[in-house]
Structure 1
């Protein structure tokens, strides 16, 4: 079984930090790809003993422009 999650990747100094929106699990890596691989591993461990709900609610992501 697999699930889809929403992930944000941000550059912080010399690292890329990947964070799952649905549960706040995060990981990092020297590249975007490495941060995503590390996050995938962390999420697999996070969900390892969790009962799985087959009904998922879609997450919608957008951007908003704010005057400053």
Structure 2
């Protein structure tokens, strides 16, 4: 059984292709923390800038997939920062 909401929303690939602003902060003890302000609680860490960027992109994909398949809330559009 599908809901009207599920029929009207774009495919998962659409949401995965969206470009969200990422904020990256150096940690006092080394490494970096990254977060995506538009996606609540979507954050990651890495020892280098390269690693934190890879990790936050993976976190973004997992966040979007989880919300998409749960159907419990809408996936926000990226802000224009």
In structure 2, stretches of 5+ residues that fail to align are 1-12
Q: Does 1:8 align with 2:23?
A: yes
If asked which structure has higher relative contact order (CA below 8 Å, sep 6+), I would say: 2
Richer in helix (by share): 2
The alignment's TM-score, normalised by the length of structure 2, stands at: 0.60
The alignment's TM-score, normalised by the length of structure 1, stands at: 0.70
Give, in angstroms, the shift of residue 58 of structure 1: 3.9
Deviations 1:10-57 (A, max 9, x none): 10121211110101411010101100101111111111141687xx46
The RMSD of aligned alpha carbons is 2.3
